[in-house]
Structure 1
Amino acid sequence: MTEVLEPAHSAAADTDQPRDLPPLGPGSATYRFFGDWRGLLMGLWSGSMQNMHPKLAAGVWEHSDFFGERWERLLRSVYPIGGVVFDPAPEKTAHEVRDYHLTIKGQMDDGGRYHALDPDVFYWAHATFWYGNIRCAEAFGPKITEAEKRQLFEESRTWYARYGVSMRPVPDTYEEFLDYWDHMCRYVLRDHAAVRTVLDITQLPPPPFMPSWTPRWLWKRMAASGNKTFLWLTTGLYDEPIREMMGLTWSARDEKLFRLFGKTVATVMRLVPARYRRHPRARDADDRHAGRVPADAPILETPARNLPSGAERDNPIHYCPVHAARRANLPWQSNEVDD
């Protein structure tokens, strides 16, 4: 039995790719705003917002090992995700990221079916990545203008087109996107165990970059304190309909403190040399364009400490590394995907 799915790479998927998309390179707004270390402050926001989509949450809950190794998966997955913007051959990286999701499908509790490459699901995940740039800049800097927001939207269409997934759910204008986002927040997104698990960092083990001699009791205290802080920050980043759905309160005092915190972050980051405000994959792209690294040098991958161990290292669902899909000999898919 087969299930006809729109998103798979095929001639039909190619024909709906717009031909008038803006370039996405060193002079783009996406290059300026994406890949900044301030994005780490958005981690719980983006992860929870993604998992509020009922179909995406079902796929993560049933298929992903994310909750078994949250630190490692987060730290290694940002490399290929960033590579879709920054790599010398970004479409190649994008297709590999897309194909990591080929086998993530199943049936939901209400009897409905889900697939990670359903265009509506895949675009929602993408929306949290690109729109997160705007939310991050608004909250923590650098300053962003309305023109830059619109430019980020236009470039987000170029970014998304690189995956080779249907463009059907992509809004045509920034205004239409804002309407789409509001509709999703009010009428589509739902609370889910996957959302609550993302928001609870108290059960996380120490991150792989923390010294191995760190006492467990000290990490537990740090995690408990960090959980309160990051949940508060994430609440400040949420739209009001999301706060109401999640049962989270936000006062005028909270908003004032949130804005003060954001200004402090922006001030501190201005003191950091521009090069070191950037994630390594973005910095690698900067170095290639500046001639500090040969243009044909191998792309920068995540440190080995972030990779899964044993046989799981070659499992392409782990983003491990971006070339794993090709090593596993996953075929290019047609519009028919085995049920």
Structure 2
Amino acid sequence: MQTTYDPELVIPEDVRVKEFTGDNSLSRKDLCQHPIPAGSLVWKYWGRLDVMYFGSGVLGPIAGAWPQMGRATAGSVLFSGDSSFGARAKIYKIRRQRSREYIYGSVYDAPEDAKKYGLKTRNMHKSVKGALQEGTFHALNAETFYFAHVTFFYYHLIIMIEQLYFGGSMPRAMKEQIFEESKEWYSIWGVDDSPQPDTYDDFERYLENIEHNHLVNSQVTQVMLDQFLERRLAPRWWPPVMKKFVWPWLVGRRQVVVSSYPPHVRELFNLEWTPEDEEILRRFMDMHRRCYAVLERLLPLKFFYLPIAVRGFEREGIDPRNITLESAQQALRENRARRAPRENTPIDETNGMLASS
């Protein structure tokens, strides 16, 4: 697998990239962070292990297709330096731990801690910048950072929920609700929200434009999709029990990931999708839903959620299985109604702490 790049070739030479540069972090006086309410649909689904397992395969390639993120990722330690298995495993472990602490902490930790993790996440991207074609890029440019947020709440969350729990047809009201909750989530990062659409209808138009006119098939995307390019048979040396009970989940992940992209994005990424793929996906989804329907009646939350999510539910006294669209809508309405006027207490942007603490 390719793991190092010529920075000039990460983005296809025949593609002209629009320049998105400049640090659009909000100043202390402009910060207006609104933690996501505990009874939200984001809380219900974001920390689920199955959503994370399948969604991570969708998120990486689509993020790498945004030219600025692809260029930044290609220059990271994941794609440079020591490419040995041990070194790369160590890097992935560190990044995974940080993601679970910062990204998931911005959702499931207590409100004040969630705000701190939001600013920490933003601040660790301040040095991510560089040259891209004839211009420059910055990770905290508002357009780039908002699309990074889109990869979370849309590609990783809405698309995965629709695939795993609604047979590819989620009620539109749920999508609209998650979109509204995503506004609270984005406020946590402390970055200018001017690219954020007002309504879900506006968001769909925004996404249509992005997918057709801004995404590219970068080398980073190609590397991340390598494992999904074709269906593979189980290794011959695997024992029969693993072939029967483990391999279907690996094959299923490939089907779920590839089917999650709309046809025009699959074409951009050179991903094949056939009627046979569709049938394999249908059978796997039926198996997944039947399996989880039984297990969720028998096992506690810790078997389905990340520990940080379980701790959040326990702290708030909420069972995510009882969260519905209607209760999530009510939770968001109440959360917005309770908002106090913006606090005047300065925030230390270095670590997200109140300046007086």
Normalised to the residue count of structure 2, the TM-score between the two structures is 0.68
Aligned runs of 1:71-220 on 2, under 5 Å? 71-73=92-94, 75-76=96-97, 77-88=99-110, 89-108=113-132, 110-131=133-154, 132-141=156-165, 144-201=170-227
Offset, 1:170: 0.6
Counterparts of 2:291 and 2:103 in 1: how far apart (Å)? Answer: 26
Equivalent AA in structure 1 for residue 139 of structure 2: A
What is the SS of the residue equivalent to 2:103? helix
2-side partners of 1:75 and 1:186: how far apart?
31
Q: Which runs of 4+ in 1 moved over 4 A?
A: 221-229, 329-332
1:25-45 Cα deviation digits (max 9, x unpaired): 221111112111112112111
C-alpha distance in 1, partners of 2:122/2:220? 21
Q: Could you say which residue in structure 2 is the equivalent of 1:8? A: 25
Of 40, 50, 54, which aligns to 1:41? 54
Note if 1:286 corresponds to 2:303.
Answer: no
The C-alpha deviation readout for 1:34-86, integer Å capped at 9, x for no partner, is 11111211211111111110001111111343673464145321332111111
| 1:237 is the counterpart of 2:254 | no
Query: What code does the residue aligned with 1:57 have?
Result: G
**What's the CA shift for 1:11?**
5.0
* Percent of matched pairs sharing the same residue: 24
Classify the secondary structure of the residue corresponding to 1:106: strand
C-alpha contact 2:21 2:137 (8 A) present in aligned 1: no
Contact 1:24-1:155 at 8 Å conserved across structures: yes
1:277 alignment partner in structure 2: 304
1:64-75 equivalences in 2 (<5 Å): 64-65=77-78, 68-69=88-89, 71-73=92-94, 75=96
2-side partners of 1:268 and 1:79: how far apart?
A: 29
Query: In structure 1, what residue type is equivalent to 2:199?
Result: T
Amino acid of the structure 2 residue aligned with 1:38: D
- 1:263, 1:150 → 2: CA distance? 26
Counterpart contact for 2:58–2:260, Cα < 8 Å:
yes
Whole-angstrom CA distance in 1 between matches of 2:280 and 2:318 = 43
2:160 counterpart letter in structure 1? C
**Could you report, residue by residue, the CA deviation over 1:222-243 in whole angstroms, capped at 9, with x for unpaired residues?**
9999876544432111111111
| Counterparts in 2 of 1:172 and 1:138: CA distance versus 1, 3 Å | same
Q: How many pairs align?
A: 274
Q: Distance in 2 between matches of 1:165 and 1:94?
A: 10
Describe the SS at the equivalent of 2:308.
helix
Maintained 8 Å contact 2:72/2:128: yes
Gaps of 5+ in 2: 1-19, 81-87, 229-236, 320-347, 353-357
Q: CA RMSD in A?
A: 3.3
Secondary structure of the structure 2 residue equivalent to 1:200: helix
Query: Residues of 2 paired with 1:119 and 1:4: CA distance?
Result: 9
The aligned residue for residue 340 of structure 2 is none
- Give the 3-state SS of the residue equivalent to 1:162 in structure 2: helix
| TM-score (normalizing by structure 1) | 0.71
Structure 1: gaps (5+ residues): 203-216, 293-325, 333-339
When residues 43 and 66 of structure 1 are mapped into structure 2, their CA distance, relative to the original with a 3 A threshold, is farther
Shift of 1:259: 2.6
CA distance in 2: counterparts of 1:260 and 1:237, whole angstroms: 16
Question: 2:120·2:350 contact (CA, 8 Å) conserved in 1?
Answer: no
| One-letter amino acid matched to 1:5 | G
Counterpart-to-counterpart distance in 2, 1:111 and 1:226: 44
